[in-house]
Amino acid sequence: MLPPVLASTSRYRLELLQRLGLAPDCARPDVDETPQAGEAPRAVAVRLARAKAAEVAARYPGRWVIGSDQVAELNGSPLGKPGTVTAAQAQLAAMSGQVVAFHTAVSLHCDDRELAACDLTRVHFRALDAATIARYVAAEQPLDCAGSFKCEGLGIALFEAIENRDPTALIGLPLIATSQLLRQAGYTLP
Residue 159, classed as helix, strand or coil, is strand
Residue 54's Cβ-side half-sphere holds a number of Cα atoms within 13 Å equal to 12
The pLDDT assigned to 112 comes to 92
Q: What is the 3-state secondary structure (H, E, C) of 79-140?
A: ECCCCCHHHHHHHHHHHCCCEEEEEEEEEEEECCEEEEEEEEEEEEECCCCHHHHHHHHHHH
DSSP letter (8 states) at residue 158: G
pTM more than 0.75? yes
Angle at 49 between CA 22 and CA 161, to 5 degrees: 80
Q: Any idea where the domains of the chain sit in the sequence?
A: 5-185
Q: Which CATH class is domain 5-185?
A: alpha beta
Is residue 69 flagged as an active site residue? yes
DSSP letter (8 states) at residue 12: H
- The residue annotated as part of the active site, out of 25, 32, 69, 129, is 69
**Residue pLDDT, tens place only, 7-63:** 999 888 999 999 999 999 999 999 998 888 889 999 999 999 999 999 999 999 999
**Residue pLDDT, tens place only, 14-28:** 999 999 999 999 999
